[in-house]
Copies of this chain bind each other. A is one copy, B any other.
């Protein structure tokens, strides 16, 4: 894939070695929107990678800004950052549990305006909305929440 080239580029740019465990972890991350760390560790272990290596790789990618932590659906998960996935936020349906990425220009603009109003020089932000998705609003009656 193309993400892989970007990964290699960023590793080189940071003077980090490109090992096959590191590439393997990246590939798994690239296949999904977000992952709980213990799940990733378990997956990599099935691929023959030691836990310690996976943890060390996560830590490295986090340090290089290629991976970030977010809370999504009440869980702490990690995901590739914007240079790989594009900027987005999360919506979590409290009924069906679905986790959806979204982006909204107007909202984005307002976020930056708000930062300006608050005197903040914004370098990143993360947002999670939760509630009921379109489907679940119809299915559910007033029994919501």
Chain A residues in the interface with B (C-beta under 8 A): 69-71, 74, 76, 91, 94, 102, 104, 106-107, 110-111, 113-115, 117-134, 137, 144-145
- In-complex Cβ contact of A144 among B76, B121, B125 (8 A): B121
A122's nearest neighbour on chain B, judged by CB, is B131
CB of A145 within 8 A of CB of B132, answer: no
Residues in B with CB closer than 8 Å to A104 are: 114, 117-118
Interchain Cβ contacts under 8 Å between A and B, 13 examples: A71-B71, A71-B76, A102-B118, A104-B117, A104-B118, A110-B110, A115-B129, A119-B133, A121-B137, A122-B130, A123-B131, A123-B132, A125-B130
Residues in B with CB closer than 8 Å to A114 are: 104, 106-107
